[in-house]
Chain A
């Protein structure tokens, strides 16, 4: 087991290296002079030259890459051109916001998806099965943008049940300690604030979690169907166990392994793919951070931002792989 983990971690090195190269190459292939974009329509040629010099934009690409690589290895993610702050510090609140949203979306996706899948499998070919799978199909094909705006329209504007934007009610104060507001409000013992933060999480989580929910539901159903045919399930039934316990205690355990893999992969996708949701719900997450940086040609932020997201993606994959091997002893690599 230990050697497997060590091997998987070693495999990360070329992956991360390749990633940095790809990110660097793509960004420098984008047309447009960053100096011109930064200084704007009123820039003078001298100012442009000075800025290019300062940012090292007039050096050959391989030298720029080399500097970038050395810097990144030293834990220095560079400095934002726009805000002139260190990215390593600046990025954290955004990352926290996105992780909080992604986890919450995953909770929604997992709770609804797993249960819908189980019931659909249990009552196979029933009306519930058909409807659940139809909903799953619609969920997979739903544009997040549209879903988000509809949610806001119905739940915020028409019914006035839930807030439509941001992470908290801006009229109140939240003391950010960890930047994970659910945690921060709890640490502070601020129950009203906690409730407020949770309410703000609902609509964006549902919007973001709908696609993974649909995928998890379909995965759980098929995995469950397979397990339900197994001998030990028949044995459990034969000894007179209540059907509920047969499913949730015996069958689910084995059916969960592939579902967990899907969840892990989905979490990675959520982290990187939340930009639309973040835009609609005014969520100050990392997707928007990078997106804004692109329109500003803030190269260091785009590079480091993508690298951080990719790093988390790879890290989650690693954890899922390890978890998978751990929970299913039959798996050996």
Chain B
């Protein structure tokens, strides 16, 4: 025993001395001045993969946005389309042929050339399930944005071909108005064909693009490091030398780390901490323009919700302003359309149902329910960006409904089951929401309210709302290339939807971020992924 215990105690003592030493000696500040400009962003979760075509989660796309480029891109603060790897583009009059002119001389991080062949390689990899490089995942975004893979009935892209080194042409099976907005999505970024061939299904761990930063290292669940691309095609950019994405799951701990200088920027600030950030001169509050909607859906196929007056009456009984104040700390907009105001095509002329319990009660009586009715009220079990406390929001709405005689029982179930059952139309009324993918109105209105998507068991229009006029407008907007005409069509559709009240749009939430005040040029993008090309550190 002597042999064992003495060394153990010796080690314990030695280590204890070392540990106690830190308290007294530690004078180094975590953010000592550096020759190299490094920015550390704190976030709640790790990326899944860095192959943008094979992921759908924001934490992966947030990183790939900085490693890769797309043919066209979004403006830094909204979803207007700007040139990127393609300098020009042209659609044929029937909208079925798109020709892109590419930049000349751009190189991938591995030194290979970006050209029309690379574009063709990428699209073929994504769209053709028999392509040898169609690996590493399920290419979900391609499937959902372009109507399926090659050979599928709904697949929009017929073929892609290189006309010469800098011209590439897409032939579509049907005109797709949001085509350009889709091509701009981070998911459809150009990967180096050589690297894809080299790494195969491990490309997601070894991403090679043309973007402002070059992938360096990934420590799972800890950090992803990317460094400046010295040969980036936008001369003189990026301004940072190194960019690190660091995972800190707890929102409060992340704020502490920002305050103590271990981070320069953080995502996912609790609305209740906004005041702390505003009150600290070393920090600045950043708001992300809202591109989501949280809504209360009525199942329009089930009585009494098949009666439009009932739906309108209930729409009048929801205090949206109250919800914003109580559950979002004011960091949300009351919604009157399913489409958020940050997306073009938003109809501001729609007049929301006024919160008025007396009028609601009267309308309910007109509908044949003078004494109200009883129903189940489904609420999500998990917090979402558009709805941080779904259970409490349900309780608050429940109280208002009770005042007009509608007695509800709040029902909840496990998240995956919840999604499955609402898609199957099993609910009488349910809370849910949507976050936009590409800033096109089609991505909200067609997905959430068109009759094409009202088919259980896979309904994304969970109100199962079917209005032929609305469908006509939305379908026409889908195949019309002219943005003015489309805007007009969407505005008309929103008016019709408002009158039918298949859902109560509740709020558009505003996600919050915070950064150190020396971080300049950071603009939070509505899609949730932003580029750090223009961001700098000015101490």
Contact = CB atoms under 8 A, between A and B. Distances in A.
A308 B415 CA distance: 28
A171 interface: yes
Contacts of A288: 221, 249
Interface string B229-272: 00000000000000010111110111011011111000000000
Interface stretch (B138-146, B341-349, B505-513): B138-146
B332 to A, nearest CB: 21
Contacts, number: 181
Nearest to B217: A173
A161 B220 contact: no
Nearest to A286: B221
A198 B22 contact: yes
A165 B12 contact: no
Interface in A117-152: 148-149, 152
Contact of A166 (B2, B38, B137, B262): B262
B15 interface: yes
Interface string A35-57: 01101111111010001000000
Given A153-B256, A327-B4, A161 B40 contact: no
Contacts of A167: 222
B38 A256 contact: no
B315 to A, nearest CB: 24
A82 B45 CA distance: 13
A111 B19 CA distance: 11
Contacts of A90: 220
B219 interface: yes
Interface stretch (B23-31, B322-330, B361-369): B23-31
A82 B56 CA distance: 12
Interface string A175-208: 0100000000000000000000011001001000
A163 B29 CA distance: 9
Interface string B1-41: 11011000101110110110011001001110010001010
Contacts of B460: 41-42
A162 interface: yes
Given A31-B417, A170-B223, A282-B249, A164 B26 contact: no
Interface string B403-422: 00000000001111101100
A84 interface: yes
A157 B258 CA distance: 9
B49 A328 contact: no
A8 B1 CA distance: 21
Interface in A99-128: 107-108, 110-112, 114
B144 A42 contact: yes
A245 to B, nearest CB: 13
A217 to B, nearest CB: 14
Contacts of A199: 22, 26
A83 B19 contact: no
B201 interface: yes
Nearest to A80: B48
A165 B23 CA distance: 17
Contacts of A272: none
B416 A37 contact: yes
Contact of B415 (A37, A108, A161, A284): A37
A85 B202 CA distance: 9
A322 B247 CA distance: 40
A265 interface: no
Interface SS majority for chain B: mixed
Contact of B221 (A94, A114, A162, A253): A94
Given A83-B49, A282-B249, A157 B259 contact: yes
A326 B31 CA distance: 50
A163 B1 contact: no
Nearest to A38: B138
A165 B253 contact: yes
B257 A165 contact: yes
Contact of A111 (B13, B250, B415): B13
Contacts of A282: 42, 222, 246-250, 253-254, 257
A202 B414 contact: no
B338 to A, nearest CB: 15
A282 B257 CA distance: 10
Contact of B30 (A169, A202, A326, A328): A169
B457 A107 contact: no
Nearest to A202: B22
A327 B1 contact: yes
Contact of B15 (A82, A111, A171, A328): A111
A256 B3 CA distance: 13
Contacts of A327: 1, 4-5
B472 to A, nearest CB: 24
Contact of B260 (A34, A44, A112, A164): A164
A164 B56 contact: no
Interface string B454-466: 0001101000000
Nearest to B263: A165
Nearest to A54: B138
Contacts of B261: 160
Contacts of A269: none
Contacts of B29: 160
B41 to A, nearest CB: 10
Interface in A228-266: 252-253, 256-257
Contact of A41 (B252, B256, B262, B419): B419
Given A32-B414, A149-B252, A171-B34, A47 B262 contact: no
In this complex, which of A161, A257, A323 has the most chain B Cβ atoms within 10 angstroms of its Cβ? A161
In this complex, which of B48, B257, B457, B460 has the most chain A Cβ atoms within 10 angstroms of its Cβ? B257
Contact of B262 (A83, A112, A164): A164
Given A111-B15, A156-B262, 4 more contacts: A42-B144, A44-B458, A45-B457, A165-B262
11 contacts: A47-B140, A84-B49, A157-B256, A163-B262, A164-B253, A164-B262, A166-B262, A167-B222, A252-B9, A253-B2, A327-B4
- Interchain residue pairs A-B with the least CB separation, the first 4: A32-B416, A282-B248, A284-B222, A111-B16
Interface of B: 1-2, 4-5, 9, 11-13, 15-16, 18-19, 22-23, 26, 29-31, 34, 38, 40, 42, 45-46, 48-49, 56, 136-138, 140, 143-144, 201, 204-205, 219-223, 225, 244, 246-250, 252-254, 256-257, 259-263, 413-417, 419-420, 457-458, 460
